[in-house]
A and B are shown apart, each in its own frame.
Chain A
Amino acid sequence: MVWTNAVVQGLLLGGLYALFSVGLSLMFGVMRFVNLAHGDFSVLAAYAAYVLVEHAGGTPLWTFAAVVPMAAVVGFFLQHFILDRALGAGELSPLLVTFGLSIFIESALQQGFGANNDSLFLGPLSYQSWKITNTLYLGRLEVIVFVVAVALISGLQLFLSRTQPGRLLRATADNPRAAALSGVNPRRVRALATAIALATVAVGGLFLAMRTSFTPTSGSNDLIFAFEAVIIGGLGSLWGTLLGGLILGVAQTVGSQINPADGILAGHLVFLAVLAYRPQGILAARNAAL
Chain B
Amino acid sequence: MSTLEAPVMTNRTVKRYSRNSLGALGIGAVVAAVLVVLPAFVGESSINQLTQFFSFLILAIGWNVLAGYGGMVSIGQQAYLGIASYAVLYLSLHGVLSWWAAPIAIAFCGVLSIPISYLAFRLRGSFFAIGTWVIAEVCLLVVAQIESLGGGAGASLNDLNRFSPNTAGDVTYWVGLAIVLISLASVALLLRSRVGLALMSIRDDELAAEATGVNVMRTKRIAYVLSATICAGAGVLLILSNLEVQPNSSFSVQYSAFMIFMVLVGGMGTFEGPIVGAIVFFALQQWLAANGAWYLIILGAVAVAVTLWLPRGVWGTVDPRNRRSLVPLRHRVSVSATVESGE
Task: Identify the A interface with B (CB < 8 A).
Answer: 28, 32-34, 36, 82, 85-86, 89-97, 99-108, 110-111, 220, 223-224, 227-228, 231, 261-262, 264-265, 268-269, 271-272, 275-276, 279
Contact = CB atoms under 8 A, between A and B. Distances in A.
A269 B138 contact: yes
B137 A268 contact: yes
Given A96-B264, A261-B145, A276-B122, A223 B304 contact: no
Contacts of A108: 293, 297
B129 A111 contact: no
Interface string B62-83: 0000010001010100000000
Contact of A34 (B71, B119, B130, B304): B130
Contact of A268 (B141, B293, B297, B299): B141
A124 to B, nearest CB: 35
Nearest to B133: A224
Given A99-B75, A268-B138, A111 B294 contact: yes
Say whether chain A's binding surface is mostly helix, strand, loop, or mixed.
helix
A271 B119 CA distance: 11
Interface of B: 67, 71, 73, 75, 119, 122-123, 125-127, 129-131, 133-135, 137-138, 141-142, 145, 253, 256-257, 260-261, 264, 268, 292-294, 296-297, 299-304, 307-308, 311
A272 B138 contact: yes
A42 to B, nearest CB: 16
A227 B67 CA distance: 21
Nearest to A102: B300
A223 B130 contact: yes
A54 B311 CA distance: 42
Given A100-B304, A264-B141, A275-B122, A92 B67 contact: yes
B125 A93 contact: no
B134 A228 contact: yes
Contact of B73 (A95, A227, A262): A95
B297 to A, nearest CB: 5
A99 B257 contact: yes
Contact of B296 (A93, A103, A261): A103
Contacts of A262: 141
B260 A224 contact: no
Nearest to B137: A268
Contact of B131 (A97, A106, A265, A275): A275
A91 B145 CA distance: 38
A82 B303 CA distance: 13
Given A89-B311, A91-B71, A96-B264, A111 B135 contact: no
Contact of A110 (B133, B134, B141, B293): B293
Contacts of B123: 231, 275, 279
